């Protein structure tokens, strides 16, 4: 690989997490994992391929160009764009068989108008109506849903296939109950108007891991597909199935320098840390340019030889420093492997710990991992794929996996 800092993605964990979701929802419920934002930083195309091969019923993204990228990569699964698209992209969406969300009357009309002129030569554009039940971000008020559905039914070239909403705080029962009541009211309005009720979906990860939230016809697991329970759920409230979730992502590095520095030596820009004793300091080749937040300066640890060692000094764009003075055994050197997110020996640094240290959530911790960080895709037999800025997943996954395994092994395990 071109550098000695990389992410490892456990594809067996990914498949196992999908299986956990299937057991939770039971038979007959469609599982539609969310792969937006580069699959929460895990690498959208390779993750989508594995999920599709493992039997995901559809894949959800946020932006239209994400769906286009998946189609261009050969992903044939049903795709759902959960945020409104520019109306001028409606014809392309129909051509590419990409379902799109609609939650504003003017945009519904604009989509219908764009598709109508070309309807005879296009597949129907699939529309999923979002219902505003309390999030305050998007969607039609429940009392407008029947009118919009009637307009879609009367138009040519479009077809209503979904009705959905997003929970604001699934861990808050009263708020969630009010949202479900509003969603049910929207469903009832369709029935009262004599309209067919399309596929309904409400539950995302939080809704799947808490009791009493209906799964309806489909679910949209996001964070839990990547092995991470939502931060806002008290671990004591999680169902036994949550213990089966396995984190997919881990972050690794080997130092580019390890040096002994005297007491009184400043570390990194600022400096915000000065050695109080003779210290052995390892420089790791990643920083906030890779998604390792500057907010973690002097506030997080790295694992080396199964022991915690503190990150010291300000995190720079391309580097961070770790005080390895107290790591047992022979002096830590440039051949030692560090883990900044994940497990090593009996120690573990979860995304939730990093999130708490930088006052954010686990979603941001994994999603902000930069495109320039190499991603190594592992399975039980060993590495099967790699994505770097100069080697795409298409080069490594599939028929060339044997070559990839050899190359990756030399790069990351030596």
* Catalytically annotated residues: 36, 269
Digit-coded pLDDT (tens) for 11-39: 999 999 999 999 999 999 999 999 999 99
If phi over 0 gives left and psi between -120 and 50 gives alpha, with beta otherwise, what is residue 270?
left
pLDDT-wise least confident of 144-153, 165-174, 399-408: 399-408
What is the arithmetic mean of pLDDT over 316-330?
98
Digit-coded pLDDT (tens) for 255-278: 999 999 999 999 999 999 999 999
pLDDT value at residue 395: 53
pLDDT value at residue 400: 40
Distance CA 124, CA 60 (A): 19
Three-point CA angle 257, 263, 265, nearest 5°: 55
pLDDT value at residue 404: 39
Mean pLDDT of the chain: 93
pLDDT value at residue 265: 98
Omega cis (within 30) before 195: no
What is the arithmetic mean of pLDDT over 396-413?
41
Digit-coded pLDDT (tens) for 364-396: 999 999 999 999 999 888 888 899 998 655 455
User: Which two structure tokens, joined as six digits, stand for 140?
Assistant: 């039609």
At residue 409 the predicted structure's pLDDT band, cuts being 50, 70 and 90, is: very low
What is the arithmetic mean of pLDDT over 118-137?
90
Q: Residue 219: is its pLDDT beyond 80?
A: yes
């Amino acid at each position: 690989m071109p550098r000695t800092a990389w992410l490892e993605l456990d594809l067996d964990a990914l498949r196992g997490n999908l299986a956990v979701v299937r057991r939770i929802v039971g038979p007959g419920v469609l599982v539609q994992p969310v792969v937006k934002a580069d699959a929460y930083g895990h690498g959208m195309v390779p993750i989508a391929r594995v999920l599709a091969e493992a039997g995901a019923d559809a894949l959800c993204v946020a932006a239209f160009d994400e769906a286009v990228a998946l189609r261009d990569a050969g992903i044939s699964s049903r795709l759902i764009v959960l945020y409104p698209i520019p109306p001028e992209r409606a014809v392309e969406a129909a051509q590419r068989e990409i379902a799109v969300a609609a939650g504003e009357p003017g945009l519904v009309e604009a989509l219908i108008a764009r598709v109508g002129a070309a309807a005879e030569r296009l597949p129907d554009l699939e529309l999923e109506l979002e219902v505003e039940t309390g999030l305050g971000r998007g969607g039609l008020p429940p009392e407008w849903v029947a009118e919009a559905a009637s307009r879609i039914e009367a138009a040519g070239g479009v077809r209503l296939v979904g009705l959905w909403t997003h929970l604001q705080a699934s861990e808050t029962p009263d708020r969630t109950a009010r949202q479900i009541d509003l969603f049910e009211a929207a469903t009832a309005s369709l029935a009262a108007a004599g309209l067919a009720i399309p596929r309904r979906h409400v539950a995302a990860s939080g809704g799947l891991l808490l009791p009493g939230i209906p799964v309806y016809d489909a679910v949209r697991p996001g964070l839990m597909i990547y092995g991470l329970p939502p931060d806002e759920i008290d671990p004591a409230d999680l169902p036994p199935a949550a213990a089966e979730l396995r984190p997919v992502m881990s972050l690794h590095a080997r130092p580019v320098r390890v040096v002994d520095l005297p007491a009184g030596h400043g570390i990194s820009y600022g400096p915000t840390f000065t050695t109080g004793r003779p210290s052995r300091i390892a420089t790791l080749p990643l920083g906030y340019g890779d998604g390792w937040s500057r907010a973690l300066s002097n506030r997080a640890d790295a694992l080396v030889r199964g022991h915690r060692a503190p990150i010291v000094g300000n995190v720079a764009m391309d580097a961070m420093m770790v005080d390895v003075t107290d790591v047992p055994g022979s002096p830590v050197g440039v051949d030692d492997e560090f883990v900044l997110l994940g497990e090593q020996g009996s120690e573990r640094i979860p995304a939730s710990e990093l999130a708490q240290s930088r006052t954010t959530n686990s979603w941001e911790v994994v999603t902000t991992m930069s495109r320039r960080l190499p991603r190594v895709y592992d399975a039980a037999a060993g590495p099967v794929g790699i994505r770097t800025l100069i080697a795409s997943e298409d080069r490594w996954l599939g028929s060339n996996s044997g070559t990839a395994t050899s190359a990756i092994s030399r790069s990351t395990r030596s």
